[in-house]
Amino acid sequence: MSKLQPARGTRDLFGEDMRRMQKVIDTFRKVGLAYGFEDLATPIFEFTEVFKRPLGDASDIVSKEMYTFTDRGGEEVTLRPEFTAGVCRAFISNGMQQNLPCRLMSHGPVFRYERPQKGRYRQFHQINAELLGPADPEADVDMLALAWRILKTLGISKDVVLHLNTLGDVESRAAYRDALVTYFSAHKDKLSEDSQRRLTTNPLRILDSKDEGDRVLVADAPNMSQFLNEASLDFFNRVKAGLEAVGVPYVHDERLVRGLDYYTHTAFEFVTSQLGAQGTVLAGGRYDGLIAQLGGPATAGIGWAGGIERLSMLLAQDPGTPRSTIVLPMGDAATVKAFVVAEALRDAGHLVTQDRSGNLGKRLTRAAKANARYAVILGDSELEKGVAVVKDLDSGDQREIALAELAASLEA
């Protein structure tokens, strides 16, 4: 029988990889709470229509990447390829429009059938934040400030650049779309097969093309800024002024777009040069038309998602585990007493394990290798005196401490 391996594009998470990812999640939640966000957990799978309706049959996610199947009840369901559609579905299903604004944060696995490469998996993980209700540009500033504070708290903001653009309002976007169709139609025979298809279904996506021939044409394509009306310009200027006021640096990237029609105004990506081709670590935008498209009430929204794997790869070092105390009982009577001592230490906030196997020297070696801070040694003579021998594994010093004073004597 061949050795069992995880399916292609998936992996087991443990050790340093798990600690790094948990650091990203913990930081996200801590900062999110400081900004007034609440936790929301949506199902890992939804009815396929939840994703297909907003993303469209012509999108790469729907046509090439979704994990879709028919369950035993005959329902077509899809493993979530992204969070936003499911969050908006939850907003509608649970009548959250009665309590606007809604600040919702989620994290967990998402699934896309892609070619695995560095920082990209078929099952990967995201942090996700959505602000539903406010339609003002200052809400966009708030969401970008949240993302920037998370990056700063993780210590990785120096390696990341915010790329910012505007898609304008519906009127401006429609004018830009028409201009792109006119321009690219004149060069249709030079476009890649994918871009020829996008010309009729989603022309803004041509600007994202990685095909070298397409890139040559994109370089001379019209810019969005040429088609912004006064309202759109004012909205974008207020976003930029807000970012400058709160100290979030950015670059205006006129080629940054979102191809789906429900996106309006602000679009952004936080990009790094530290991870090769997979440079985007967090991205999002304003999607004022999405909830209505899903069948809910017209509700403004802006959100973003960050790749936990990619963010964790940028961390400077292994976050490590909290320093522990290891209780080492020597003898049968001490083995029983060690449970009482360990529980008392845990009650006082200490991280405690026990090691009951091997001689004392081997146990101390294992404790040091596990990066424990203290070893609490219990033997027959210590039990008779009501004490434990506590060895500081950093300094090597050891002393006797009364069992009744043990929890208060150790640093938690």
| CA 292 to each of CA 46, 84, 92, 125, 295: distance values in angstroms, whole numbers, following the listed order | 18, 14, 10, 27, 5
Please report which helix (H) or strand (E) contains residue 411, including its range: none
Tally of CB atoms within 10 A around 251 = 11
What amino acid is encoded at 301 in this protein?
G
Which distant-in-sequence residues (6+ apart) come within 8 Å of 182 by Cβ?
Answer: none
- Encoded tokens for 18: 């798990």
Q: ∠ CA(355), CA(359), CA(364), 5° rounding?
A: 60
For the four alpha carbons of 256, 260, 266 and 268, in that order, the dihedral sign comes to negative
- Provide the 8-state DSSP code for 7: P
Structure tokens at 194: 């994918």
3-state secondary structure of 232: helix
Binding residues for L-histidine, by number, are 82-84, 112, 126, 130, 258, 262-263
Using the structure block, give the residue that is written with the tokens 């708030």: 142
The helix (H) or strand (E) run that includes residue 46 is strand 45-47
Helices (H) and strands (E) counted in the chain, each on its own, are 15, 16
3-state class (DSSP) for residue 58:
coil
- Supply the DSSP symbol for 98: G
C-alpha span between 179 and 168 (Å, rounded): 14
3-state class (DSSP) for residue 273? coil
Encoded tokens for 356: 């009951």
Binding site, by residue number, is 82-84, 112, 126, 130, 258, 262-263
